[in-house]
Amino acid sequence: MAQRQFIRGVILALACQLPALAAPPTAAIIGTAPQPAWQALTASQREILAPLAAEWGAMEHVRRKQWLASAARYPSMSETEKQRFQARMNDWARMTPEQRAKVRENYLEINRLPTDEKEAIRKKWSAYKQLPEEKRQGVRENHKSAILLAPPPEPETGTEEATAASDQ
Amino acid sequence: MNEERQAYRIRQALNHGLQDISPAASRRLEAARHLAVSRQKQPVRQMVAELAAYPAGTPASGGKRDTSVIVRSLLAIVALLSGMWLAFHWHSERYVAEIEAIDSALLTDDLPPEVLLDRDFLEWLKDNSSEE
């Protein structure tokens, strides 16, 4: 709980420093001491960071340091968070610095929204991802996202997409 | 004690003589004093000028002084470099802590990074308006 609050605090503090999110500042790169090679990591670090094994050698020291800090945080995560972290780590590492900066920027923007709006977005996403693949595009193109939060419609009045959303 | 008495007598004798000095001699004495004082100041000015010129020029005096100046210069450079490295290190620590916190948060969030990357989709999700 305290950790969550800390992260929220950091997110709020970072909200005013969006340009800093793009690439590591030169001062940070110079000030980062050389980080260990993959073989020099502890067994537990290698296990947590396994999805990054192939990229580790080519990674800048400042990014290695970041991942090692995340590996230290990993044991305090919930099971769901651990699974998400493991599953997303590799794709995240393969993104370009500009893409990562964009994601961080959008994430911070969403976190600045009022709590009810943030919750609404997450609920909509949850409903959307449960739609059958072939229906998703139709819902996006033909409806407002509010349809994803609509109560279960009557069979004769609901659209095909809304029915699919409410079924999830 | 004897020395003190002797000094007192000399001073009395000199002071006694002052009353007999003519105004012209008094002026000459004053001029001579000014001249002596001005000559006294020259070596001081010369020494200051030497010290000011030293870093760019060659040392004017002995090897001992050279060594101490070189050591002082090296210490200043080492202190400057250490300060710079500490500042960079502090930057690194702060940057890594901030970015790591936000990356960990978004990598474990309900919304995956690929959704957060899709600006149009995010805008669609954020739209609170309902169906017409």
Q: Residues of chain A with pLDDT > 70: what percent?
A: 76
Q: What is the arithmetic mean of pLDDT over A46-58? A: 94
Interface of B with A (CB under 8 A): 85, 87-117, 119, 121-122, 124-131
Give me the residue from B92, B104, B130 closest to A70, CB to CB. B104
In this prediction the pTM is 0.62
pLDDT digits (tens, 9 = 90+) for A105-121: 999 999 999 999 999 99
- Cβ A32–B92 below 8 Å, yes or no? yes
| ipTM of model over 0.85 | no
Q: What is the mean pLDDT of chain B?
A: 82
- Cβ A84–B103 below 8 Å, yes or no? no
Q: Residues of chain B with pLDDT > 90: what percent?
A: 36
Residue type, A75: P
Query: Does the CA dihedral B38-B41-B46-B48 come out positive or negative?
Result: negative
Q: Residues of chain B with pLDDT > 70: what percent?
A: 80
Q: Which of A68, A66, A78, A77 is nearest to A45 (CA)?
A: A68
Q: Residue ranges per domain, chain B?
A: 1-60, 63-132
- Cβ B105–A11 below 8 Å, yes or no? yes
Give the pLDDT of residue B38.
83
- Cβ B129–A146 below 8 Å, yes or no? yes
Distance from CA of A16 to the nearest CA of B (A): 13
A143–chain B Cβ distance below 8 A for any pair:
yes
Instruction: Compute the residue count for chain B.
Output: 132
Return d(Cα A80, Cα A25) in angstroms, integer.
33
- Residue B101 CA from chain centroid, whole number: 40
Alpha helices in A15-167, H assignment, sequence order: 26-30, 43-48, 53-56, 61-73, 79-94, 97-111, 115-129, 133-142, 160-167
Q: Three-state SS string across chain B, please?
A: CHHHHHHHHHHHHHHHHHCCCCHHHHHHHHHHHHHHHHHHHHHHHHHHHHHHHHHHCCCCCCHHHHHHHHHHHHHHHHHHHHHHHHHHHHHHHHHHHHHHHHHHHHHCCCCCHHHHHCHHHHHHHHCCCCCC
Q: Residue ranges per domain, chain A?
A: 2-111, 119-167
Give the pLDDT of residue A151.
65
pLDDT digits (tens, 9 = 90+) for B13-52: 777 777 777 888 888 888 998 888 888 766 666 666 666 6
A40–chain B Cβ distance below 8 A for any pair:
no
